[in-house]
Structure formats: structure tokens, C-alpha cells
Amino acid sequence: MTAAVAGTGNWSITRLAQALEKKELSSEELTGAALDSIDTWEPALHAYLSQMREHALDSARASDRARLADEKVSLLSGIPIALKDVLCLENQPVTAGSRLLEGFTSPYTATAVARLKAAGMVFVGKTNCDEFAMGSSTENSGYGPTGNPWDPACSPGGSSGGSAATVAARSVPCSLGTDTGGSIRQPASLCGVVGFKPTYGRVSRYGLIAFASSLDQIGPFTRRVEDAALLYREMAGADPMDSTTLSDPVEDPVPQLSAGVAGLRLGVPREYMGSALSPGVRAAVEAAIALYQEQGAIIEEVSLPSTDLGLSTYYVIAPAECSSNLARFDGVRYGNRLPSELAPLTEMYLETRRKGFGPEVKRRIMLGTYVLSHGYYDAYYRKAQQVRSLIANEFSTVFSKVDALIAPTSPSVAFPLGAKSDALSMYMCDVLTVPVNLAGLPGISIPCGFEDGLPVGLQVIGPRLADAMVLRVAHAYEEASGWKDEAPKLPHTLTTGEAL
């Protein structure tokens, strides 16, 4: 590591960009340090499914050349970033954490990724995740789980666990994840970083391997709220390649970030503070609420009575959509083909899917096929859609009274890998995040303290399209609290070279 990059591990994107701009630091040095840090942490974390060393260093040098030639470059130019391995980058591998896609190469680049590439960002690798983004711990990855930098024996959450872990480890300043039922906010909470899920339809999903299309949304992991705003601003906006993107103009969240919360009405949903919370999570969130109050926010208890219906609704709708989206993985066009070209066609489909998909993905495909089948559609799928509307309407009613909601992100802190062996206890991890996806709202998780040395996350939820408000409310807490500078230490076994 060169002297210039020493100590930059905790810097914000803005600060790194200033150093690049003043030529105190080159992107090549910064990227080299990121790659070295990834290598150092990988034995403990397994946060990556593939790395792009040469590709990254080439982009970094191109950014440096542009800056040296005094070309006008974006603030994000030369900043390293990691991508969840469900996002396509042309000519790079993409697996969605599935053995079925082992060895598959992206034929094109996702719009969100292309926008960051156009800004000059440097892609360092693809991060581990639950298979097809189905899970809350990364243990459903076909390539083994990821560890949490605060305690590698614990899960980083999921499904975007690798993206959260590498940012928490201070290897890269930022990464991208996806959030269908909580997969950005929950791992951000468990890893003590910022994770932002924008309003549904704000960021194009073209080039994202789809899980549940009426819920999926791409968003950033960062260590600062401001950094999340910078990445969001770059990625958001209509895209002709994704007809679900919104045409409403994107409000720039950055100028409003420091507006504070004095006079804002912040709601605390009673149902989110129920008995399922671990004591440390409750204490940290209550302290955060008090801090908001000290800053002049008006705190109001509100009610979202259908909160407890969120999970059962989600576990009808998400599997239904996944059973349709994953039908394409049959050995014909994507990834592995089993057993051979010569087998009868149906045998080839069956064997490819039997061997390629893991147990959780199979469970969801079966569940989804069932709820969509003739005779069950009305009882399950239509009913779930009705409850979904109910949940969305309850949020709308509450947002006629308050500007944003504050709540815990996850009922508990990081849990040991292997601790949640049944599907239901894993599903319960998302009880506080899933309703936000069902209603298509923006939500963020920011660090708000610790329980037994493991991070706690605070969730801020806003009305549809109030992404800037969510970031502003989160920023106010981040500024008033000191959590953003807390960083995990490299595990003892790695610093001493002891065998793992």
C-alpha cells in the first residue's frame, strides 16, 4: 500500500473524490488498496464470487489519465465499487449465487451499472449472495456463505450479504445490492453500514437477474448517507429498457441532505416495536428516537395494523413471480446443461433444474407454481394481492400525518451461521422490511448502535418518491450520532497468521 492511501479506508466518497481531484491520490492506488484489502479479508469473509483485478486497474488508470488531462470528470470517477452477482457487466461472469449459472458470462451491462461506468466508477468484483437473491443470510448461495466482518462466524445477512460485508470491512467505499423483501436493508443493518432501497421503479432493473419483478429494486451500500445519495442520483431515472421505471423527474437528494429534522413529523409504527425485538435492538432504536426528538423532530406513535400480514403476503407473491422468472433456466440458453446434448429434451430440462437449483429456490418455485395454478389462484395469489393493497393503503394513510417513519430494520443483530435451520425462522428476519417492498416505498438502514458487539440498524421509511426525504432524515441521525466511524477489526487469526 502506498503512503497516499494509508488511512483512507474510512473516508467518504466525497472525501476520496476530493483527494483524487487534487491528485493527492490516484485511482490506481485507491483501487490497488481496495483489491489488497479484499484479498486480506477474503479468507475470513468469502464476500466475492469473482474479482476483476485487471479490469479494475485498467478502468482506474483510464480515470487517472482523464483527470491528469484535466478532462471534466464525474465526482464518482475512479471510485472502486463492488456489484452483487445478480447484476450484469458485459463479458464478466454472473452467477446469481447459483450453480446453475456457473461459468455464465454477461452478454450486456445492466443500466444501473452502465450509468456508474459512464461516471468512471471502477468495478472490482461480483459479490456473494443467496441463490437468485432468495434468503436472509447468504447461506443459500451455491458457493458457500459469507462471514460478517464484525464476527466472521456470524451471517452478514442477505441476500446481498457479500456487498454489505465488503463495505463494512472497509475494503471498498461502496457496492450495489438488490432489495426484494429486505435484501439491502437487512444486511446493511447486520453489517453496520448504510443500505438504501429507492422507491420501486426509480432505478432500472434492465440487466438485473429477476427474482420477483413487482418488488425487486437496486440500491447502494455505503458507509455514509451522503454517498448513498450520490450513487442513487447517478443511477435513478427512466430507462426505455425497463418499462417499470418511473418517468417522474428525479429529485436531487444531495442539496437537501443537511436540512435537518427540526419541525418534521416522524412516525414510529407501534407494530414495529413489538415483543419480537431483541433488547439491544429496542434500546438502540429508542435512543435513536430520543436523539431525533432532541434535534427538533416531532415524534408520533402511529399504527400499521396489517404489518403482521406482510410476510405471508410476500411469501405468496414473491414465489409466484420467481416461479415465472426462473422458468427460463432450463439448460437451453443460460448456464449449465445437464446431462448432455443427446438426452431427450424433457430429461435435459429436468436434470438441469434438479442439479442446478438449491433447496430454497426449488421450494419457492414449487410454492409459486402452486399458488398460481388453476383452482388455487383466487385463494392465494388474488388474496395476497388484495392484502398487498391493504398494506399499501395503510402506509398512505399514515403518510398523510407524518413525513417519514423510523423503526428498527431487523428484529435482531447478526446471528451465527447455521443458527436458523428452518425456513420460517429465516423468513422472520424480514418481518420489518417486507411491507416496505409490498408498498413500493423508499427505505434505508443506517447504523444506530451495537448489541453484544454486533451492529444494530435503524430503518427510515418514506412515502413513494420521497427518496430525498428518507436520505435527509437518515443523514440528520448520522450527523448527530457517532456510529459512522465505528469499523470492524481484521480477525485475530488473520492478523497473527494463525490457521483458520
Residues engaged in binding ligand GLN (CB under 6 A):
133-136, 159, 178-183, 211, 318, 430
Compare residues 60 and 367 and give the one whose CB is closer to ligand GLN: 367
Name the residue with cell 485487471. Answer: 54
- The H or E element that residue 306 is part of is none
CA atoms within 13 A on the CB side of 472: 22
Edge to edge, what strands does the sheet with 404-408 contain? 48-51, 122-127, 80-84, 174-178, 218-222, 194-197, 443-451, 454-461, 404-408, 265-269, 298-302
- Nearest distance in Å: CB 457, ligand GLN: 15
Q: Which long-range contacts (CB under 8 A, 24 or more apart) does 234-241 make?
A: 234/74, 234/76, 234/115, 234/116, 234/119, 235/112, 235/115, 235/116, 235/203, 235/204, 236/198, 236/202, 236/203, 236/467, 237/202, 237/204, 238/204, 239/111, 239/204, 239/206, 241/111, 241/204, 241/206, 241/207
Compare residues 318 and 432 and give the one whose CB is closer to ligand GLN: 318
The residue from 183, 189, 306, 412 that is catalytic is 183
| CA triple 469-303-216, angle to 5 deg | 55
Instruction: Count CB-CB contacts under 10 A for residue 6.
Output: 9
Residue 214 annotated among the catalytic residues of the structure? no
- Nearest distance in Å: CB 430, ligand GLN: 5
Q: Cα(35)–Cα(45) distance, rounded to whole angstroms?
A: 14
Residue 171 annotated among the catalytic residues of the structure? no
- Nearest distance in Å: CB 71, ligand GLN: 38
- Nearest distance in Å: CB 322, ligand GLN: 9
Q: Cα(245)–Cα(333) distance, rounded to whole angstroms?
A: 27
Compare residues 33 and 426 and give the one whose CB is closer to ligand GLN: 426
Grid cell locating 417: 451461521
- Nearest distance in Å: CB 210, ligand GLN: 11
Contact present, 37 and 168 (Cβ < 8 Å): no
Compare residues 135 and 368 and give the one whose CB is closer to ligand GLN: 135
Residue 183 annotated among the catalytic residues of the structure? yes
Contact present, 45 and 35 (Cβ < 8 Å): no
Of residues 194, 229, 185, 174, the one with CA closest to residue 469: 229
Q: Cα(271)–Cα(182) distance, rounded to whole angstroms?
A: 17
The residue from 84, 197, 420, 484 that is catalytic is 84
Compare residues 399 and 427 and give the one whose CB is closer to ligand GLN: 427
Compare residues 123 and 211 and give the one whose CB is closer to ligand GLN: 211
Query: Which residues, in sequence order, are bridge partners of residue 480?
Result: none
- Nearest distance in Å: CB 179, ligand GLN: 5
DSSP assignments along 6-75, one per residue: TTGGG--HHHHHHHHHTTSS-HHHHHHHHHHHHHHHHHHH--EEEE-HHHHHHHHHHHHHHHHTT----T
Compare residues 152 and 181 and give the one whose CB is closer to ligand GLN: 181
- Nearest distance in Å: CB 136, ligand GLN: 4
- Nearest distance in Å: CB 84, ligand GLN: 10
- Nearest distance in Å: CB 160, ligand GLN: 7
Compare residues 318 and 476 and give the one whose CB is closer to ligand GLN: 318
Q: Cα(408)–Cα(219) distance, rounded to whole angstroms?
A: 19
* CA 413 from centroid of its chain's CA atoms: 17
The residue from 77, 159, 171, 306 that is catalytic is 159
Compare residues 32 and 187 and give the one whose CB is closer to ligand GLN: 187
Can you state the angle between helices 111-118 and 225-235, rounded to 10 degrees? 110
- Nearest distance in Å: CB 130, ligand GLN: 7
Grid cell locating 467: 427518496
- Pairing relationship of beta strands 194-197 and 218-222 according to DSSP bridges: antiparallel
Name the residue with cell 425485538. Answer: 277
Q: Cα(138)–Cα(154) distance, rounded to whole angstroms?
A: 11
Compare residues 140 and 222 and give the one whose CB is closer to ligand GLN: 140
Which residues are catalytically annotated? 84, 159, 183
